[in-house]
Amino acid sequence: MQAFLEVRKLTVAIGGKLICRELDMMIRPGECWGVLGQNGVGKTTLLRTLAGLHTPQSGMVSWNGVALAAHTRRNLARHLGVLLQNEVGEFWGSVQEYVLLGRFPYRASLFGYSVQDEALAQQALAQMELEGLAQRPYNTLSGGEQQRAAIAQALAQQAQCYLLDEPLQHLDLRHQAQTMQVFSRLKEQGCALMMVLHDTLWAQRCCDHVLMQFADGHVLHGIAQELLTRTHLEALYQCPLRELSVEGERWFVAGV
């Protein structure tokens, strides 16, 4: 199966810190990847590199077999949805107008969005349970509501692959579960997802692949069931863990 994103011999650094060295990996249709690691190891920088927003030291990232640099940003945005942390400054429009920005790569006119764009924005609002807030000024939303609006904007893009930096930040438990259900449906539809997560529970429940980033630039990646072990996670987070068994499944919690 043709990979959506292919990474070859990728070495990434920022501010003199090594993020990864000669990384080789593929993200294929229908895969859900969880990116795990301590604060400051470079998870955001790696995602930005995969999105073509940070230049690597060496190596290449390609989309559908063609180097990212060979794609226009507009064309790439029609296929690759990116959610970054704290991306929005002051936005003075409504929640609906904010979500409609996800349709910008498809906009054919300088004078507004199409009926289809409006419909897809409404669909994304509904997916994130924001229909009742559509006409609210975006800057009056809570942090969690703004995060859901940002996810809705990404959903409105109708991308094939999503790179999501901490999509669950600021969300309460119910909305974490609801958001992961939305992502699971995207996976079932053949989309690929790669998301930074801090809760290994969600990685265990929802991801079929994981990528573990260590502070020294070492990276482990592969099938989630094989890598999500107590040994690997204790080495990754540098803290003792307790292993629990619930209804035949293993879960890991910090051993405090």
Query: What is the three-class DSSP state of 36?
Result: strand
pLDDT of amino acid 109: 72
Residue matched to tokens 């060295």: 21
Helix or strand run (H / E) with residue 222: strand 219-223
Domains delineated in the chain:
5-254 (3.40.50.300)
Measured in degrees and rounded to the nearest 5, phi and psi for residue 164 equal -125, 115
Q: Could you tell me the CA-to-CA distances from 205 to 34, 88, 184, 210 in Å, in that order? A: 10, 30, 10, 12
DSSP state at residue 3: -
Question: Would you write out the chain's pLDDT as a tens digit for each of its 256 residues?
Answer: 689 999 999 999 999 999 999 999 999 999 999 999 999 999 999 999 999 999 999 999 999 999 999 999 999 999 999 999 876 567 889 999 999 999 999 887 777 789 999 999 999 999 999 999 999 999 999 999 999 999 999 999 999 999 999 999 999 999 999 999 999 999 999 999 999 999 999 999 999 999 999 999 999 999 999 999 999 999 999 999 988 888 777 888 887 7
